[in-house]
Each structure stands twice: as C-alpha cells, then as structure tokens.
Amino acid sequence: MKKKFLLFFSLITVLLLSGCVKWIDKGESITAVGSTALQPLVETAGESFADKYPGRFINVQGGGSGTGLSQVQTGAVQIGNSDLFAEEKDGIEADKLVDHQVAVVGITPIVNKNVGVQDVSMAQLRKVFTGEITNWQTLGGKDLPIVLLNRAAGSGTRATFERWVMDGKATKKAQEQDSSGTVRSIVAETPGAISYVAFSYVDKSVHVLSLDKIAPTEENVSTNQWPIWAYEHMYTKGKPTKLTKDFLDYMLSEHIQSSLIKKLGYISVHTMKVKRNAAGEIIQ
C-alpha cells in the first residue's frame, strides 16, 4: 500500500512539474539595451505592455547608445536603444540594422541652482565646455568656479550635445558619468556644476539654461529653434518579428505617443514640424 501511495505521489509530482514547465514555456521575453536618455520611456512602456499582455516581458537596461548599437548588431539583444543614427557610430554596420524612431529627445544644459545664471549664448556655452570660461562671474553669475561634468564616451546624449554645441571643438577633460540620473544628482549637489541631460531627466533639483534667449521647450524643439535634440531610435537586426515587432508597434501606438511620451518629458515623433537626417540636415 505504501509503495502504491509513493508511486501515486511521484506521478502527481511529475504531472505538476510538467504543468509548471508548460506554464513557464508560455512566457516570452526580449531585451532592449542602450541609451539612458530613452531608458525611462522604454521601461515604463515595457511595464505597461506586460500588464496588458501577461506573460510577455520586456527587459530594459542602460549602458549608453554605443552599447545598444553594438549589442543589437551582434545579436546579443533584440533591441538596441540609441540617441544616435547608426550611421553616426564607428564600427556599426548601419545597413544591417533597421531603424525605428519612437520619440524625440531634447537635450539641455543644466546647472547647479546657485550659479546665478539664466541664459548664455551658444558661443559662451561652447567656451564653458572648452575651458575658456572658468568662472560664473564672467557670465554675470556668482564668483564661483565652473565645475564641468560630462557623460561618458559612447553616450548618445554626449554625442548629440557635442555635435550641436561644440562645433568640432573638443570638450575640456572633466569628470564623466555613465548615467543621466547620476549626472543630475552631481550637478544638484555640486556648487558651480554644469552638465547636460535629456529633458526627461530635468527636475526641480537643477536649473536649465536658455540659449540666446531661446528656452529648451518641446515647441522650440519641434521647429528646430532649439537645435540640441535627437531622435530616439530602437534598432533591430533585420526586420523585427513576434514579440519584438509587437512591442515596437506598441511604442508607436496612440496610447504611448499621445500620453506616456509627453508625461515622461519626451516629444512624440508625430508632433515634430521638421525632420532631420543622419547628416544633420533638415529635410522637411
């Protein structure tokens, strides 16, 4: 009798385990890696997607645009998030990747709230980052040394800032950080500090600078009056299929484009009044 019971118990255990395996097998997941400027949007959209479609998961990681492009190119991940066109990044075979532009990100200089400066010219901002201007007093602010903070090499945010602000000049060697959130925290806590982040990372702990009396706003980005902006790309290696395609379709859906994007500080691709190509030329 005892043997029969053990046999029955073993059989039930096997059936239960088999059922669990089948249930686990029904789950699907993909990984999106790259731009930290795009990361908050993809994370939030991924959570919303998983709530709407149980058992379908989107794993999201940062690392910078260069990491996203290289990882998707090798096939290590399904989606590479980037603030850059693939054509802008050395070592990336752009013709092997498919570009999905899901949003636009504006990038703004941010400063410690106590520097005493509200507006600078583009030329002055460039001189700050080359190290030619070293004290906020030169710009009408407090007698306070300027503390530069850069994003790390490989960052799409940095590449976009340098492309539209530095005009080919090199930034002065300074502290570098991988994360936009960390950059904001350091600027908020460091007297005299200046850096740059996507609009989506701006909060009350820091102050944004206007440039030549033009404010960093969605409307000014949409008309290119504020030139420091970039498309947010989600690249795939070849044409997306299955879960990857479904999630990218969701990113471009009315729900994401009309509400979530604005809520998180991004700009919908549908509200842009101009278009820009990989060469930086306005094409519409």
Per-residue model confidence as pLDDT tens digits over 65-86: 999 999 999 999 999 999 999 9
Same domain? For 181 and 125 the reply is yes
pLDDT at 167 over 70: yes
Arithmetic mean of pLDDT, 179-198: 96
Amino acid at 67: T
Same domain? For 156 and 246 the reply is no
pLDDT at 11 over 50: no
Same domain? For 180 and 122 the reply is yes
Read off the pLDDT band of 284 (50, 70, 90): low
Arithmetic mean of pLDDT, 105-130: 97
Identify whether 56 is part of a domain: yes
Residue 126 has phi, psi (to 5 degrees) of -60, -40
Q: How far apart are CA 148 and CA 176, in angstroms?
A: 9
Number of DSSP helices (H) and strands (E) in the chain, helices first: 10, 12
Write down how long the chain is. Answer: 284
Contacts of 160 (CB under 8 A, 6+ apart): 83, 84, 107, 228, 229, 230
pLDDT at 6 over 80: no
Identify whether 12 is part of a domain: no
pLDDT at 17 over 80: no
pLDDT at 179 over 80: yes
Read off the pLDDT band of 46 (50, 70, 90): very high
Residue 35 belongs to domain spanning: 28-104+229-271
Same domain? For 111 and 168 the reply is yes
Are 223 and 215 contacting, i.e. CB atoms less than 8 angstroms apart? Answer: no
Q: In the prediction, which pLDDT does 98 show?
A: 98
User: How many structural domains are present in the chain?
Assistant: 2
Identify whether 52 is part of a domain: yes
Same domain? For 217 and 255 the reply is no
Identify whether 17 is part of a domain: no
Q: How far apart are CA 101 and CA 83, in angstroms?
A: 10
Q: Which residue has the tokens 């910078």?
A: 64
Same domain? For 181 and 126 the reply is yes
pLDDT at 200 over 70: yes
Other C-beta atoms within 10 Å of 181: how many? 15
Read off the pLDDT band of 154 (50, 70, 90): confident
Read off the pLDDT band of 170 (50, 70, 90): very high
CATH number at residue 44: 3.40.190.10
Other C-beta atoms within 10 Å of 152: how many? 17
Identify whether 130 is part of a domain: yes
Q: In the prediction, which pLDDT does 202 show?
A: 94
pLDDT at 157 over 60: yes
Q: In the prediction, which pLDDT does 60 show?
A: 98
Same domain? For 233 and 212 the reply is no
3-state helix, strand, coil in the chain (%, to 5): 40, 25, 35
E strands, the chain, where?
A: 28-34, 56-63, 79-82, 97-98, 101-111, 119-120, 147-151, 175-177, 193-198, 207-208, 210-211, 229-237
Q: How far apart are CA 232 and CA 36, in angstroms?
A: 11
Give 120 or 10, the one with higher predicted confidence. 120
Same domain? For 198 and 238 the reply is no
Q: How far apart are CA 180 and CA 40, in angstroms?
A: 11
Arithmetic mean of pLDDT, 140-158: 93
CA-atom Rg of the chain in angstroms? 23
Give 65 or 22, the one with higher predicted confidence. 65
Same domain? For 114 and 166 the reply is yes
Identify whether 50 is part of a domain: yes
Same domain? For 167 and 109 the reply is yes
pLDDT at 51 over 80: yes
Q: In the prediction, which pLDDT does 26 show?
A: 54
Same domain? For 55 and 195 the reply is no
Same domain? For 100 and 233 the reply is yes
Contacts of 205 (CB under 8 A, 6+ apart): 113, 184, 185, 188
Q: How far apart are CA 158 and CA 180, in angstroms?
A: 10
Arithmetic mean of pLDDT, 166-193: 94
**pTM (2 d.p.):** 0.81
